[in-house]
């Protein structure tokens, strides 16, 4: 796709609105979107920081910040966790919702995957309801074109009343236009075409009646968000919003009582939870917008990615391919590590003085010997491990491993997503434990974190790879890893039996396969080595 074909659309009416603190030319810009839509890639391009880019949901659990100096302005870019809704049911949703409400960024860039417009608009509609200054980045425009899809930026802008621009984050296409629009919105020089709840964005009449009723009751409570947003969240039974309103109106307040009554009425009329009613209404609006703004064009890409996906997730061939891939990775690491470690050790042994004083021997063994010991571990073993892991992540295969292992993992007591932290644990237990937060429930996080501590990290790898593999052979080292996996499985099963709670199924996005970007892989590997 020619990047010159990218388009953007803005609101034509200039106006001045005060929002946030853009004093002295400084702006605070938040990146919000679903997982795997290219937020972190866009963040990297704008700031030049080495924020980790991974093809699995929930990678960006912590908020990352970077600075962009654009002309005379200084923009602090905040990469918020990948989420699918502003409902505060997961850690990522809580972090993002709280940041948008409490920190009030000058502008929010909603990064949307152009290949899955309807699903992404579900979050966009909530951002509009929240009333944040918004710019939409229709990302992965090139991938959409390959799939025969074209999203009209002007139609999106017209429907939602906010500016939109097509982007390709991995190439930086559309980034300048996106930044320019963000500055205009933050300065108040672009306003919406229409109110956020114009006719085409309204819910069904029974729902709208209750939203209006609750909005009227909420007037005057001095909430940090619009009354309409709070009313909708009350109908979704959002506990965080309920807590805010309870604190604002005090005990015995009529707002929560009215919300409970409206919720029961909706549930009785529809035969399902009121939160499901709101979600269905929101998806219906998103579907109408997607149908009106998406165009089918000639497909410009092959089905190779889909064919590889079918092969690697096949019930029979998938596990075989996975075993071959993972087995080959560890075999390559062991083989390369042994050869490279011996070569490095022999090189430095040749540099040691043949005859040296006791002090020189002490200096050599204490300083040079320590350096060589670290070098013979990091370069031959850890570096290839992180390099190959980054390659698997960037291609999108890691999520397939989680999918394939979900059945086995549940028999042991794991969640399918636990495979990702366990793989990371072979490098370092600390980031592996942090990554356990991709699990939605505390019970799954606890079991996974417990298992991660049993996986041989870099320090234990010294013994397994540098000693066992060297003196006993590669197969003995592999045998130790197999034995370790058995121990991890048995103890995880015991933890699963002891801890109260029920197992949950795996819901995980499968990003399309893509060729790894050497720059991204190199950054990932460098940052992981640096954190050791």
- Confidence band (pLDDT; 50, 70, 90) for 471? confident
Which stretches of 192-316 are DSSP H helices? 205-218, 227-235, 239-249, 254-270, 274-293, 304-312
Q: Sheet containing 107-113: give its strands across.
A: 8-9, 164-166, 134-139, 107-113, 26-33, 73-79, 64-70
pLDDT digits (tens, 9 = 90+) for 222-232: 889 999 999 99
Helices 274-293 and 254-270, axial angle in degrees (round to 10): 70
Residue 418 reports pLDDT greater than 90: no
Distance CA(426)–CA(392), nearest Å, equals 15
pLDDT digits (tens, 9 = 90+) for 72-97: 889 999 999 889 999 877 778 888 89
- Confidence band (pLDDT; 50, 70, 90) for 191? low
Residue 143 reports pLDDT greater than 80: yes
Angle at 381 between CA 376 and CA 387, to 5 degrees: 130
Which domains, ranges and CATH numbers included, belong to the chain?
Answer: 3-186 (3.40.50.300), 202-270 (1.10.287.1770), 310-530 (no CATH)
The DSSP secondary-structure symbol of 168 reads: B
Residue 165 reports pLDDT greater than 80: yes
The pLDDT value recorded for residue 368 is 67
According to the per-residue pLDDT averaged within each range, which of 82-86, 186-190, 303-307, 355-359 is highest? Answer: 82-86
Distance of CA 141 to the CA centre of its chain: 19
pLDDT digits (tens, 9 = 90+) for 204-244: 999 999 999 999 999 888 889 999 999 999 999 998 899 88
- Confidence band (pLDDT; 50, 70, 90) for 495? confident
Helices 383-395 and 518-530, axial angle in degrees (round to 10): 140
According to the per-residue pLDDT averaged within each range, which of 30-44, 294-308, 459-473 is highest? Answer: 30-44
Q: Looking at per-residue confidence, does 173 or 521 come out higher?
A: 173
Distance CA(271)–CA(125), nearest Å, equals 24
The pLDDT value recorded for residue 2 is 56
Distance CA(432)–CA(453), nearest Å, equals 9
Residue 29 reports pLDDT greater than 60: yes
Distance CA(73)–CA(127), nearest Å, equals 25
Helix, strand, or coil (residue 257): helix
Cβ–Cβ contacts within 10 Å for residue 90, how many?
19
* Residue 433 to residues 52, 389, 447, Cα–Cα distance (Å): 16, 17, 11
Q: What is the mean pLDDT of residues 467-493?
A: 80
According to the per-residue pLDDT averaged within each range, which of 237-241, 303-307, 325-329 is highest? Answer: 237-241
Residue 262 reports pLDDT greater than 80: yes
Residue 260 reports pLDDT greater than 50: yes
Contacts of 279 (CB under 8 A, 6+ apart): 122, 236
Distance CA(113)–CA(110), nearest Å, equals 10
Distance CA(232)–CA(122), nearest Å, equals 14
The pLDDT value recorded for residue 378 is 66
Phi-psi map region of 126: left, alpha, beta (phi>0 left; psi -120 to 50 alpha): alpha
Cβ–Cβ contacts within 10 Å for residue 155, how many?
16
Closest-CA residue to 485 (of 454, 516, 453): 454
Q: What are the backbone dihedrals phi and psi of residue 98, each rounded to the nearest 5 degrees, phi first?
A: -65, -40
- Confidence band (pLDDT; 50, 70, 90) for 106? very high
End-to-end Cα, the chain, rounded Å? 40
Q: What are the backbone dihedrals phi and psi of residue 28, each rounded to the nearest 5 degrees, phi first?
A: -115, 115
Give percent of the chain above pLDDT 90.
26
Distance CA(35)–CA(60), nearest Å, equals 9
Distance CA(318)–CA(313), nearest Å, equals 5
- Confidence band (pLDDT; 50, 70, 90) for 16? very low
Structure tokens at 372: 């060589």
**Cβ distance 88 to 240 under 8 Å?**
yes
The mean of the pLDDT values for the chain is 81
Output the pTM of the full model: 0.76
Q: How many residues does the chain have?
A: 532
Residue 506 reports pLDDT greater than 70: no
Residue 520 reports pLDDT greater than 80: no
Q: Are strands 64-70 and 73-79 parallel, antiparallel or unpaired?
A: antiparallel
Strand ranges in 60-148 using DSSP code E only, listed in sequence order: 64-70, 73-79, 107-113, 134-139
Distance CA(182)–CA(105), nearest Å, equals 11
Structure tokens at 169: 């984050």
């Amino acid at each position: 796709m020619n990047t010159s074909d990218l388009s953007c659309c803005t609101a034509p009416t200039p106006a001045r609105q005060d929002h946030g603190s853009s004093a002295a030319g400084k702006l605070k810009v938040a990146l919000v979107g679903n997982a795997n839509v290219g937020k972190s890639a866009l963040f990297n391009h704008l700031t030049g920081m080495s924020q980790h880019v991974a093809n699995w949901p929930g990678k960006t659990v912590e908020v990352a910040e970077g600075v962009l100096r654009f002309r005379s302005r200084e923009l602090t870019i905040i990469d918020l966790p990948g989420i699918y809704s502003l409902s505060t049911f997961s850690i990522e949703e809580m972090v993002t919702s709280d940041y948008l409400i409490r920190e009030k960024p000058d502008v929010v860039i909603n990064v949307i995957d152009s290949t899955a417009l309807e699903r992404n608009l579900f979050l966009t509609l909530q951002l509009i309801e929240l009333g944040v200054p918004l710019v939409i980045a229709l990302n992965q425009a090139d991938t959409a074109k390959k799939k025969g899809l074209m999203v009209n930026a002007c139609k999106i802008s017209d429907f939602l009343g906010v500016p939109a621009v097509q982007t390709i984050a991995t190439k930086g296409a559309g980034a300048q236009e996106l930044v320019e629009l963000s500055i205009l919105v933050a300065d108040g020089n672009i306003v919406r075409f229409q109110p956020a709840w114009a006719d085409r964005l309204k819910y069904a009449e029974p729902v709208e009646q209750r939203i209006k009723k609750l909005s009227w009751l909420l007037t005057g409570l001095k909430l940090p968000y619009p009354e309409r947003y709070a009313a909708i969240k009350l109908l979704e039974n959002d506990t965080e919003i309920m807590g805010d309103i309870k604190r604002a109106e005090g005990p015995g307040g009529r707002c929560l009582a009215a919300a409970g009554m409206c919720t029961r009425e909706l549930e009785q009329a529809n035969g399902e939870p009121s939160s499901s009613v709101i979600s269905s209404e929101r998806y219906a609006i998103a579907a109408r917008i997607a149908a009106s703004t998406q165009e089918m064009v000639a497909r410009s890409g092959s089905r190779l990615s889909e064919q590889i996906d079918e092969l690697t997730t096949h019930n029979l061939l998938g596990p075989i391919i996975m075993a071959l891939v993972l087995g080959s990775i560890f075999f390559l690491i062991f083989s390369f590590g042994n050869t490279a470690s011996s070569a490095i050790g022999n090189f430095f042994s040749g540099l040691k003085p043949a005859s040296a004083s006791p002090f020189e021997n002490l200096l050599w063994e204490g300083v040079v010997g320590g350096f060589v010991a670290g070098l013979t571990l990091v370069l031959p073993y850890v570096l290839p491990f992180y390099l190959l892991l980054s390659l698997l992540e960037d291609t999108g295969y890691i999520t397939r491993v989680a999918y394939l292992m979900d059945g086995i993992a549940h028999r042991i007591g794991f969640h399918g997503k636990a495979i990702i932290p366990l793989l990371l644990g072979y490098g370092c237990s600390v980031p592996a434990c942090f990554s356990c937060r991709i699990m939605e429930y505390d019970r799954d996080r606890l079991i996974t974190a417990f298992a991660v501590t049993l996986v041989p990290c870099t320090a234990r790898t010294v013994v397994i790879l540098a000693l066992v593999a060297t003196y006993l052979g590669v197969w003995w080292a592999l045998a130790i890893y197999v034995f370790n996996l058995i121990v991890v499985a048995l103890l995880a099963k015991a933890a699963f039996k002891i801890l109260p709670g029920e197992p949950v199924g795996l819901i995980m996005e499968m990003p399309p396969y893509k060729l790894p970007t050497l720059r991204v892989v190199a950054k990932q590997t460098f940052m992981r080595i640096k954190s050791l």
